[in-house]
Chain A
Amino acid sequence: MEHIRTPKVENVRMIVSPRKSTVGTLYLSSTHTIFVENSEALKETWVLHSLVYNVERLPTNSSGSPLIIRCKNFHVYRLLIPQEKDCLDVLACLTRLSRPEHYGELFCFSFNPNLDKELREKAWGFIDLKAEFSRMGIPRNLWQVTAANHEYRLSDTYPSELFVPKSASPAVIVGSAKFRSRGRLPVLCYFHRDTSASICRSSQPLSGFSARSSEDEQMLQAIMKSNPLSEFMYVVDTRPKLNAMANRAAGKGYENEDNYTNIKLQFIGIENIHVMRNSQQKLIDVGELAAPSMSDFLWGLENSGWLKHIKAVLDAGVFIAKAVAEEGVSVLVHCSDGWDRTAQACSVASVLLDPYYRTIKGLMVLIEKDWVSFGHKFSHRYAHLDGDPKEVSPVMDQFLECMWQLMQQFPCAFEFNERFLIQLHTHIYSCQYGNFIGNCQKERRDLRLQERTHSLWPHLWENRAEYTNPLYRTDHSQTQGVLKPLTTAYCFKFWKGMYGCAEKSVASYQSSADCLNAVREESQQLEEELSAHQERLAQLEERKTSGERKKTNKLSEHVRRPIPTESELSSPQDYFTTPRSEKNTPSFTLQLQLATPHKNGDPDDLSTGSDFESGVADLSSYSSSGGDDTKDPDSDEVVKANA
């Protein structure tokens, strides 16, 4: 609290678009920036400090001091503060609060959703990796758990429990670990029951120009032999070959095919974290362009190189999945340290191979396994603490985007929807839950996160209805077996739901998925209603009276529920001013509206209201019925928790 000099500023203007803004009061708490509109609705916007990416102050003008808050989930808030002094105070405060220096300052340590100790512990057990490895059906005669990394002796960034080939002796395990960057030896990541081929992962070997390790060579041999049917294995180096070669000068590098028997080395060419960071920044800039022409936009998209990188990650996954499923050949995947590109490639391949990872629970398990437990450096990559900006990179963003791109190609294959991915993305950055704090298992243990913070997974699971894809059906052909996506260039699209902030806040869309979800829900309700009616009918018939009172009305009422209300459809845009995109409506989310039951519970008024005939946009109706859609969805929980 000592950083908050001005906890409250009045008459602040939140600028939604050049034509639309609202006046309200700005509050700064130790965890959130809260904007409360002066309107009757007292609409609130909550912005978590840990989600703030940067705060920019523009020169003061006659109407006040403009302040732009950019968030790590690509939301942007534009404020106009009447007094320059207040603006400077808010700026200083937000700058400090959005860059915590110690783990202890993170929101997860103060976030309290009122769970008792027992429930909290149970929540942390929600995802069980032991159960996951046994789900894979790993044959115990070929693979075993080694205690070699007990107390993180071999590799402090690996999980303490590792699956290795049964034939690998302790000496081979230790020797191999010594020959790998940070001791990250080759271990099992995914076992494909259908072919007995596996995906293993590691860091790069310390081969330099000529170094060898017979233990490491034996380790690879053991992995290959754990797949009894195959005669060779792939080593997939996810780096561009040039980068891999450059590493040799530093005593690292890649496997020499002459030294390792029966391996095939394959480079994939995913660029490093610095290239990705810069690429994403360019993409964000494209998304923020206020009034681009079609050419500006497409050129910017091309220039960012982002989709090219997404394709590279997906290509890596496709290569691995193909080797494992079609050729039945095991694959060892590594990059440099084996915690960024390797995690991407392995997890994308797993999603392609195993339908389980395309479910809500399955994706949680996969993230917990391939990312959290194997030491993906969450706190560094997502800047949880004020640290080296060169360590920051959107590695996980790219994985989530690969999921999204796949969902575009296979609309029926995934149990989760886009909202789930976006929610995951937000929480990877938000520090509200303890799951993604720290950089490896050891660090997490030392921080005693399970005792001091809460787990995200059960929370998402409870709300899974919101994250479910209505087209998903377990018996659909797209949900069976291996996914074989196209990676033709035209398959890759700009992820508007994630990066389209200039547009996100203004466009009025209907969503077919939401409509379908509503339809499904209705179906279910109707079913229940029908049986209730039948029961009642039976009762009434006994009394010789008709029980069919208004049945049909009721039904049609239900079907009509997904009709959007006026404010949702009529958002005239600025077609007048040549391609300018900022429009005059507040952010619109049909999702929120549909997720909640109809406001006045009488859908009939939609068709009878006379003012609907004109369809003329009534701006006053936007603000009231627009509801709290700009409110940070996360904040709901906070409110509840604090209440």
Chain B
Amino acid sequence: MELSEHIKTANVEDVTLRRPFHPALRGTLCVTSHHLLFSNRKDEASWQLLILLKNIDAIEKRAVGSSGTITIKCKDLLVLQLEIPGMEECLNIASSIEALSSLESVTEMYPFFYRPSHLTLLGPWGLSTTEQYYKQTERLWDRWRVSKVNSDYSVCPSYPSAVIVPREVDDDKLIRSARFRQGGRFPVLSYCHHSNGMVIMRSSQPLTGANKKRCKEDELLLQAVIDGSELGYIIDLRSAQQAQQARMTGGGFESKSCYRHWKRIHRHHERGKVVQESLIKLVEACSDLSHSVDRWLSKLENSKWLSHVHSALSTAGLVVECVERDGHSVLVHGSEGTDNTLLVSSLAQIILDPASRTVTGFLCLLEREWIQAGHPFQQRCAHSAYSHARLKQECPSFLLLLDCVWQVWRQFPLALEFSEALLLRLAQEVYASNYGTFLCNNEQERCAAGVKENTHCLFQSMLKPDIEEQYLNPLYEPTDLAIWPSVHPQSLQLWTGMFLRWTEYAQNMEEAREEVWSIVKEHRERV
């Protein structure tokens, strides 16, 4: 079925658009295969609102006399109202939005059609590859190598074709280790400390099962990671009890007797549906302005969103403490190793690695640790906070990461080269984008769909100098030190820039940001 077949009414005149904190506007509404376009042509000056249909999370329609009202709730949390004259037109528009906003086929999505004149499809896609990263990271050359054992994605469907592993472990061992790990996600290098050489590894859970199966190659692989040093830490992102229970379903954990030089620490992290429901509850709490303070605090608490932020930052801090202060290597995993694992390992890098705090460094980190590492973006970000659809595999892990990074930025406003604007842009792009970066669930799928050949890369476009500028933190002062965030509940706050983004509250903050810029610019001029 062609996309255009979903469109029964393409144009409606005299539509009234209502947005928060703006006067209502009248204009023309258009539905195309990928966009909702509202344009208001008044006194020559025309104003347009273009919304990606994919950005629409839920719509509600209501009939008022002969006209209808559609409330559009976007994945970036914006809520709009359209008053459409004519009931039939209203219903047609609504059904088009419903059908076109939930396309399943990747190649039908907008990034495959987005062809801006200033970008070209030629040239390399993305910022870096595993091989390039290895080449640039001299400290890896001695003990680590790039393995292409997964070049046809048969060893681990969700891993990239190339991964970094200990030099002394050959590909056969990797294949065996992969068979012993859920989804084949055998331990691979995530980060090597820039001065003490200790590493953060990540994987999925070992498949020890009820019979306490062992895998010699997996044990050897981890042994090779610590390479004669006394001790490594396994940070298991489940409670000890959950890890025990996982054995009943074929999963498990690294027992002390088999991995003698590894010490296991369990940290409970919520996952999947629970976190998605937290987001839904939080957004619901933020959108009701009539709450008393008590009710608001109770709803904020009840959403548990900040508890997730708290856990993620605490565990990341723990990882950094192991690596940076105690000088031990760490293996991080939960169950699948595609969500909390990536969250913790990337947060840890931001805390301890100055290179990941620049705009480029941070985007490279996201590319490495989320895109290439196989975070299933398509599944996780199918819906956001407003959708009434039954939850499948949605989980705002990536949004949680952005929130945690925001908390770090708030505590260390000079330490990150990028500003909140970058985080907000990413929060928007991850749900609906012109670019192909967040499409599909892993590299294998992206390859099959031809994402690299047929879409543009978001990160590349963000790094264009004129665009990058808007994401810079005016107060940036690089520091080589670890930035240890406080994880005391007092120190963690609601990310107002995100969750109160479309309120008056955010407008005053915008003015403050401009003021900061003007002070800094004034200063720079003097310099």
**Interface membership of chain A positions 568-583, coded 1 if the CB is closer than 8 angstroms to chain B and 0 otherwise:** 0111110110110100
Number of A-B contacts (CB under 8 A): 215
Q: Is B389 an interface residue (CB 8 A)?
A: no
Q: Is A614 an interface residue (CB 8 A)?
A: yes
Chain A contacts for B520, CB-based, 8 A: 516, 519
**Interface membership of chain A positions 482-504, coded 1 if the CB is closer than 8 angstroms to chain B and 0 otherwise:** 00001011111110100010110
Chain B contacts for A578, CB-based, 8 A: 267, 314
Query: How far is A461 from B317 in the complex, measured between Cα atoms in Å?
Result: 42
**Interface membership of chain A positions 503-525, coded 1 if the CB is closer than 8 angstroms to chain B and 0 otherwise:** 10011111110011001101100
9 smallest beta-carbon distances between A and B, as pairs? A489-B296, A297-B489, A575-B317, A575-B318, A411-B512, A298-B301, A302-B297, A512-B413, A615-B481
Closest chain B CB from A469 CB (angstroms): 10
Q: Is A526 an interface residue (CB 8 A)?
A: yes
Which of B75-83, B155-163, B491-499 contacts its partner? B491-499
Closest chain A CB from B493 CB (angstroms): 7
Closest chain A CB from B508 CB (angstroms): 6
Query: How far is A581 from B486 in the complex, measured between Cα atoms in Å?
Result: 8
Which of A44-52, A70-78, A81-89, A559-567 contacts its partner? A559-567
Q: Is B122 an interface residue (CB 8 A)?
A: no
Contact of A298 among B297, B477, B515 (CB under 8 A): B297
Q: Is B106 an interface residue (CB 8 A)?
A: no
Q: Is A412 an interface residue (CB 8 A)?
A: yes
Q: Is A616 an interface residue (CB 8 A)?
A: yes
Q: Which of the listed residues A477, A506, A564 has the most CB atoms from chain B within 10 Å of its own CB? A: A564
In contact, A508 and B492 (Cβ under 8 angstroms): no
In contact, B512 and A510 (Cβ under 8 angstroms): no
Contact of B318 among A287, A516, A576 (CB under 8 A): A576
Q: Is A602 an interface residue (CB 8 A)?
A: no
Q: Which of the listed residues B265, B297, B515 has the most CB atoms from chain A within 10 Å of its own CB? A: B297
In contact, B317 and A573 (Cβ under 8 angstroms): yes
Q: Which residue of A lies closest to B286 (CB)?
A: A490
Chain B contacts for A636, CB-based, 8 A: none
Q: Is B366 an interface residue (CB 8 A)?
A: no
In contact, A511 and B413 (Cβ under 8 angstroms): yes
Q: Is A308 an interface residue (CB 8 A)?
A: yes
In contact, B479 and A564 (Cβ under 8 angstroms): yes
Q: Is B47 an interface residue (CB 8 A)?
A: no
Closest chain B CB from A171 CB (angstroms): 46
Which of A227-235, A288-296, A327-335, A352-360 contacts its partner? A288-296
Q: Is B471 an interface residue (CB 8 A)?
A: no
Chain B contacts for A409, CB-based, 8 A: 505, 508
In contact, B292 and A489 (Cβ under 8 angstroms): yes
In contact, B504 and A530 (Cβ under 8 angstroms): no
Closest chain B CB from A496 CB (angstroms): 5
Q: Is A307 an interface residue (CB 8 A)?
A: yes
In contact, B321 and A471 (Cβ under 8 angstroms): no
Query: How far is A477 from B504 in the complex, measured between Cα atoms in Å?
Result: 15
Query: How far is A295 from B82 in the complex, measured between Cα atoms in Å?
Result: 39
**Interface membership of chain B positions 270-297, coded 1 if the CB is closer than 8 angstroms to chain A and 0 otherwise:** 0000000000000001100101111111
Q: Is A388 an interface residue (CB 8 A)?
A: no
**Interface membership of chain A positions 601-627, coded 1 if the CB is closer than 8 angstroms to chain B and 0 otherwise:** 000000000001111110000000000
Closest chain B CB from A312 CB (angstroms): 9
Query: How far is A301 from B477 in the complex, measured between Cα atoms in Å?
Result: 35
**Interface membership of chain B positions 306-332, coded 1 if the CB is closer than 8 angstroms to chain A and 0 otherwise:** 110110001101101100110000000
Name the interface residues of B153-172: CB closer than 8 Å to any CB of A. Answer: none
Q: Which residue of A lies closest to B285 (CB)?
A: A490
Contact of A523 among B196, B301, B310, B526 (CB under 8 A): B526
A298-B300, A486-B504, A555-B527 given as contacts; is B489 within 8 A of A293 (CB)?
yes
Q: Which residue of B lies closest to A520 (CB)?
A: B519
Q: Which residue of A lies closest to B306 (CB)?
A: A294
Q: Which residue of B lies closest to A470 (CB)?
A: B519
Query: How far is A500 from B320 in the complex, measured between Cα atoms in Å?
Result: 25
Chain B contacts for A294, CB-based, 8 A: 301, 304, 306-307, 309-310, 489, 492
Chain B contacts for A311, CB-based, 8 A: 293
Chain A contacts for B480, CB-based, 8 A: 612-613, 615
Query: How far is A491 from B320 in the complex, measured between Cα atoms in Å?
Result: 33
Contact of B486 among A296, A412, A507, A523 (CB under 8 A): A507
Q: Which of the listed residues B291, B293, B309, B515 has the most CB atoms from chain A within 10 Å of its own CB? A: B293
A298-B306, A562-B477 given as contacts; is B482 within 8 A of A572 (CB)?
yes
Closest chain A CB from B199 CB (angstroms): 16
Query: How far is A474 from B246 in the complex, measured between Cα atoms in Å?
Result: 62
In contact, A307 and B490 (Cβ under 8 angstroms): no
20 examples of A-B residue contacts, CB within 8 angstroms: A293-B307, A302-B293, A302-B298, A411-B511, A412-B515, A486-B503, A489-B296, A490-B494, A496-B490, A502-B490, A503-B491, A515-B477, A519-B520, A522-B523, A523-B522, A569-B482, A569-B483, A570-B484, A573-B487, A578-B267
Residues of A within 8 A of B (CB): 287, 292-299, 301-302, 305, 307-308, 311, 409-412, 470-471, 473, 476-478, 486, 488-494, 496, 500, 502-503, 506-512, 515-516, 519-520, 522-523, 526-527, 530, 555-556, 558-560, 562-564, 566, 569-573, 575-576, 578-579, 581, 612-617
Q: Is B136 an interface residue (CB 8 A)?
A: no
Contact of B296 among A490, A503, A522, A562 (CB under 8 A): A490
Q: Is B63 an interface residue (CB 8 A)?
A: no
Q: Is B210 an interface residue (CB 8 A)?
A: no
Closest chain B CB from A18 CB (angstroms): 14
Q: Is B402 an interface residue (CB 8 A)?
A: no
Chain A contacts for B390, CB-based, 8 A: none
A299-B301, A509-B411 given as contacts; is B515 within 8 A of A575 (CB)?
no
Contact of A510 among B413, B482, B526 (CB under 8 A): B413
Q: How many residues of B are counted as interface, with CB atoms below 8 angstroms from the partner's CB atoms?
A: 71
A572-B321, A614-B196 given as contacts; is B412 within 8 A of A509 (CB)?
yes
In contact, A562 and B317 (Cβ under 8 angstroms): no
In contact, A412 and B481 (Cβ under 8 angstroms): no
A478-B511, A502-B490, A516-B519 given as contacts; is B310 within 8 A of A489 (CB)?
no
Contact of A572 among B325, B413, B500 (CB under 8 A): B325
Q: Which residue of B lies closest to A310 (CB)?
A: B293
Query: How far is A600 from B34 in the complex, measured between Cα atoms in Å?
Result: 61
In contact, B484 and A573 (Cβ under 8 angstroms): yes
A509-B411, A579-B310, A612-B480 given as contacts; is B293 within 8 A of A617 (CB)?
no
Query: How far is A246 from B382 in the complex, measured between Cα atoms in Å?
Result: 58
Q: Is B415 an interface residue (CB 8 A)?
A: yes
Q: Which of the listed residues B194, B482, B496, B522 has the most CB atoms from chain A within 10 Å of its own CB? A: B482
Chain B contacts for A297, CB-based, 8 A: 489-490
Q: Which residue of A lies closest to B513 (CB)?
A: A411
In contact, B491 and A507 (Cβ under 8 angstroms): yes
| Other 9 A-B pairs with CB < 8 A, given A515-B414, A564-B414, A578-B267 | A297-B490, A409-B505, A412-B508, A508-B484, A519-B520, A556-B527, A563-B477, A581-B487, A615-B324
Q: Is B516 an interface residue (CB 8 A)?
A: yes
Query: How far is A516 from B475 in the complex, measured between Cα atoms in Å?
Result: 8
Contact of A302 among B289, B294, B492, B526 (CB under 8 A): B294
Q: Is B117 an interface residue (CB 8 A)?
A: no
Name the interface residues of B170-225: CB closer than 8 Å to any CB of A. Answer: 194-196
Closest chain B CB from A421 CB (angstroms): 18
A294-B307, A520-B519, A559-B527 given as contacts; is B291 within 8 A of A489 (CB)?
yes
In contact, A569 and B477 (Cβ under 8 angstroms): no
Q: Is B488 an interface residue (CB 8 A)?
A: yes
Q: Which residue of A lies closest to B527 (CB)?
A: A555
Closest chain A CB from B99 CB (angstroms): 35
Query: How far is A617 from B522 in the complex, measured between Cα atoms in Å?
Result: 36
Name the interface residues of B377-424: CB closer than 8 Å to any CB of A. Answer: 411-415
In contact, A296 and B489 (Cβ under 8 angstroms): yes
Q: Which residue of B lies closest to A312 (CB)?
A: B293
Query: How far is A459 from B28 in the complex, measured between Cα atoms in Å?
Result: 63
Q: Is B237 an interface residue (CB 8 A)?
A: no
A489-B295, A516-B475, A615-B481 given as contacts; is B301 within 8 A of A295 (CB)?
yes
